[in-house]
């Protein structure tokens, strides 16, 4: 009887360890988020792990924002991002320059995803723009 209790407790312990094993959490595949506008012939692919979850679960819905607000915020965020990219020795997460043309109207969905990527970077990496 005592052996059975020890076996049961040992099984629970192994089960608890397996559930909390961080290696198991990293096996979940996440599809990249593609920001594209076919009529303007450009595409941005975001492969940062966790962005899909952030966009679907944490970000406010697209209907919350106006296009004017998103364009204004993206102009600010893009200029800060590109400034940090150019000073790559100080900021290691800024690997690419963002070619955001301020006179081009990219549309609501593109601006929404780009804006939320900046918010995701603030959330995940603690960066403040």
Quick: pLDDT tens for 1-13: 443 333 333 333 4
Question: Can you give the pLDDT at residue 77?
Answer: 96
Give a yes or no: residue 20 inside a domain: no
Q: Tokens 């800060």, residue?
A: 80
**Mean local confidence (pLDDT), 78-101:** 86
Question: Can you give the pLDDT at residue 33?
Answer: 72
Say whether pLDDT at 126 is over 60: yes
Summarised one tens digit per residue, pLDDT across range 45-66 is: 777 889 899 999 999 999 999 9
Give a yes or no: residue 17 inside a domain: no
pTM, entire model: 0.70
Domain of 54 in residue numbering reads as 29-125
Nearest to 112 by CA among 54, 67, 52, 72: 67
Give a yes or no: residue 11 inside a domain: no
Give a yes or no: residue 8 inside a domain: no
Give a yes or no: residue 62 inside a domain: yes
Look at the chain and report how many structural domains it folds into: 1
Burial label for 65, CB within 10 Å (0-12, 13-18, 19+), is: middle
What whole-number distance in Å separates Cα of residue 106 and Cα of residue 122? 23
Burial 84-97 (b: 16+ CB within 10 A, else e): beeeeeeeeebeee
What whole-number distance in Å separates Cα of residue 45 and Cα of residue 34? 4
């Amino acid at each position: 009887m005592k052996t059975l209790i020890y076996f049961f407790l040992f099984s629970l312990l192994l089960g608890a360890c397996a559930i909390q094993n961080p290696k198991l959490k990293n096996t979940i595949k996440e599809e990249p988020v593609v920001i594209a506008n076919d009529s303007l012939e450009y595409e941005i692919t975001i492969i940062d792990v966790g962005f899909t979850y952030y966009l679907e679960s944490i970000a406010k819905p697209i209907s919350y924002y106006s296009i004017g607000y998103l364009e204004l915020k993206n102009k600010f965020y893009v200029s800060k991002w590109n400034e940090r990219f150019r000073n790559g020795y100080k900021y290691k997460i800024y690997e690419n320059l963002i070619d955001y043309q301020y006179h081009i109207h990219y549309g609501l969905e593109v601006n929404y995803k780009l804006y939320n990527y900046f918010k995701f970077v603030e959330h995940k990496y603690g960066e403040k723009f």
